[in-house]
């Protein structure tokens, strides 16, 4: 497998782009390999500029739930492109996508489109603060909500492997309003709320953590969070940028039957184009300008190309049997990887997680339930496993603290080949 062109491009990229990439994890720094420069993608496969083909489990970090370049999504984008790519004025498409989101997501009565998940969480936090007239925000250690100043405190994703608990460039004055507590720890949250409840605007959380690897809520945890926030008039914000439209049509809130006050979306609702959204109770959402006093805006928000890609993606997801098929594929993948580790004799050193089409293998024998236990993972061993998989044509996330996504486009053959590769990779990685 040659990677000369990728190497050359990476060297050139570093001259013009900080670190050679437009998002840190793409640099492959924590897995000690050369980032593959991608030329094209179709279905579950991607091809790099050296002509290598990979089965892709990154799926653009989640958006490509239907696989890459889905024929119907591409046709919709092409048709819209002919009519113009941005107007900066309202369109019927925005109404259509907003209506679909409201119909699909139980707690959302009104929704505002933005351009990324980061914008969604940033705006939701501002709205929560404006609405409650309180300043403090509670987040969970290892949850990632984009690169919002006040949320880059003990965050997961890229920060987890870069070992930066909080980024330089964030004034103490901003970070001091953010309180962090361990995930799955009701007592810690209760304590914080007992002490500062009247100053807390919101608790923001990934209902299922997917930016520190995959960490599931323990039984009753989400219910308890909902109960104790409601008691103090603290808004509960579900960051469903990953879980939204993936765990179920209505995301984690439908899956677990919990009703947050506000929800944030991204990834899947853009069908591979840059989109985010936040929504919730009409009474809260009407606090946004131009109806209310909390300002929020965007030149490209509700972009027509992104709207048609999102509408088509959601339309396809709503077809009968799609989520069931996705669950089966996710299960086959996760169980197959576990069986491969058992055959390779390394299963006792690993912790396996799977929920629907998301999964993760932690290179630790601890039972992972929060960021601290996830952080016990042997990242060197993960890196070795990652490189062995890549050599065998399987493109996993280039970091222990990310997850694998299965799309509707992954075939049985893809998954079987991946499991066979994993058995060899686990064997090599253990030496």
Q: Point out the residues that are catalytic.
A: 144, 239, 267
**Is 56 an interacting residue with respect to ligand PLP (CB under 6 A)?**
no
For the chain, the C-alpha Rg in angstroms (whole number) is 21
φ and ψ of 116, to 5 deg: -160, 170
Q: How far apart are CA 221 and CA 244, in angstroms?
A: 19
Stretch that binds ligand PLP, among 43-51, 110-118, 283-291, 362-370 (CB under 6 A): 110-118
Nearer to ligand PLP, 145 or 353 (CB): 145
Angle, helices 71-81/304-317, rounded to nearest 10 degrees:
150
Are 393 and 55 within 8 A, CB to CB? Answer: yes
Stretch that binds ligand PLP, among 7-15, 103-111, 144-152, 305-313 (CB under 6 A): 144-152
- The full 3-state SS of 233-274, as one line of letters, equals CCEEEEECCCCCCCCCCCHHHHHHCCCCCEEEECHHHHCCCC
Nearer to ligand PLP, 24 or 266 (CB): 266
- Of 117, 207, 302, 330, which one interacts with ligand PLP (CB under 6 A)? 117
**Is 144 an interacting residue with respect to ligand PLP (CB under 6 A)?**
yes
CB atoms closer than 10 angstroms to residue 346: 18
Nearer to ligand PLP, 346 or 397 (CB): 397
Nearer to ligand PLP, 146 or 213 (CB): 146
Instruction: Show contacts with ligand PLP in window 197-226 (CB under 6 A).
Output: 206, 211
* Nearest-approach distance from CB 240 to ligand PLP, in angstroms: 8
Instruction: Show contacts with ligand PLP in window 240-259 (CB under 6 A).
Output: 241-242
Write out the H or E segment, with its range, that includes residue 99. helix 92-104
**Is 121 an interacting residue with respect to ligand PLP (CB under 6 A)?**
yes
Pull the structure tokens for residue 315.
């339309």
**Is 146 an interacting residue with respect to ligand PLP (CB under 6 A)?**
yes
Quickly list DSSP for 347-378: GGG-EEEEETTEEEEESSSS---SHHHHTTS-
- Of 48, 141, 239, 370, which one interacts with ligand PLP (CB under 6 A)? 239
Stretch that binds ligand PLP, among 66-74, 92-100, 237-245, 289-297 (CB under 6 A): 237-245
Are 181 and 209 within 8 A, CB to CB? Answer: no
- Of 80, 118, 296, 399, which one interacts with ligand PLP (CB under 6 A)? 118
Are 333 and 394 within 8 A, CB to CB? Answer: no
φ and ψ of 365, to 5 deg: -90, -5
Task: State the distance between the two ends of the chain, measured CA to CA, in whole angstroms.
Answer: 22
* Nearest-approach distance from CB 17 to ligand PLP, in angstroms: 17
Nearer to ligand PLP, 143 or 350 (CB): 143
Nearer to ligand PLP, 251 or 276 (CB): 276
- Of 266, 280, 302, 304, which one interacts with ligand PLP (CB under 6 A)? 266
Stretch that binds ligand PLP, among 142-150, 186-194, 298-306, 390-398 (CB under 6 A): 142-150
* Residue, CB closest to ligand PLP: 117
Q: How far apart are CA 3 and CA 239, in angstroms?
A: 37
Stretch that binds ligand PLP, among 73-81, 116-124, 381-389, 422-430 (CB under 6 A): 116-124
CB atoms closer than 10 angstroms to residue 84: 10
- The binding site for ligand PLP (CB under 6 A) comprises 61, 116-118, 121, 144-146, 157, 206, 211, 239, 241-242, 266, 276
């Amino acid at each position: 497998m040659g990677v000369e062109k990728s190497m050359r491009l990476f060297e050139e990229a570093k001259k013009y782009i900080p670190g050679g990439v437009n998002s840190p994890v793409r640099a492959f720094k924590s897995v000690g390999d050369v980032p593959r420069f991608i030329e094209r993608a179709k279905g579950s496969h991607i091809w790099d500029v050296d002509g290598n083909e990979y089965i892709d489990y990154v799926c653009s970090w989640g958006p490509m739930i239907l696989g890459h370049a889905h024929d119907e999504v591409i046709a919709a984008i092409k048709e819209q492109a002919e009519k113009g790519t941005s107007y900066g004025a309202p369109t019927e498409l925005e109404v259509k996508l907003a209506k679909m989101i409201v119909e699909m997501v139980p707690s959302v009565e009104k929704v505002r489109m933005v351009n990324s998940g980061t914008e969604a969480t940033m705006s939701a936090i501002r709205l929560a603060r404006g609405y409650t007239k309180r300043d403090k925000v509670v987040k969970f250690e290892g949850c990632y909500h984009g690169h919002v100043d006040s949320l880059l405190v003990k965050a997961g994703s890229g920060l987890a492997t870069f070992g930066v608990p909080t980024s330089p460039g964030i004034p103490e004055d901003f970070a001091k309003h953010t309180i962090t507590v361990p995930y799955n720890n009701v007592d810690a949250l209760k304590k914080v709320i007992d002490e500062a409840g009247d100053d807390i605007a919101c608790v923001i959380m990934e209902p299922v953590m997917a930016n520190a690897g995959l960490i599931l809520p323990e039984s009753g945890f989400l219910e308890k969070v909902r109960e104790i926030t409601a008691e103090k008039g603290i808004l509960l914000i579900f960051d469903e940028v990953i879980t939204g439209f993936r765990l179920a049509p209505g995301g984690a809130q439908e899956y677990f039957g919990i009703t947050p006050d506000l929800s944030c979306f991204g990834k899947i609702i853009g069908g591979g184009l840059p989109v985010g959204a936040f929504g919730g109770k009409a009474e809260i959402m009407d606090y946004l300008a131009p109806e209310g006093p909390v300002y929020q805006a965007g030149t490209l928000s509700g972009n027509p190309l992104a709207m048609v890609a999102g509408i088509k993606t959601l339309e396809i997801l709503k077809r009968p049997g799609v989520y069931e098929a996705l669950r089966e594929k996710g299960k086959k993948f996760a169980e197959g990887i576990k069986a491969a580790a058992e055959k390779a004799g390394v299963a006792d050193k690993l912790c396996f997680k799977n929920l629907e089409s998301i999964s993760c293998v932690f290179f630790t024998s601890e039972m992972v339930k929060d960021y601290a236990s996830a952080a016990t993972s042997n990242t060197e061993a993960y890196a070795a496993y990652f490189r062995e998989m890549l050599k065998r044509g399987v493109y996993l996330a280039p970091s222990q603290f990310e997850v694998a996504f299965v799309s509707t486009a992954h075939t049985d053959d893809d998954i079987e080949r991946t499991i066979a590769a994993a058995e060899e990779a686990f064997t090599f990685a253990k030496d």
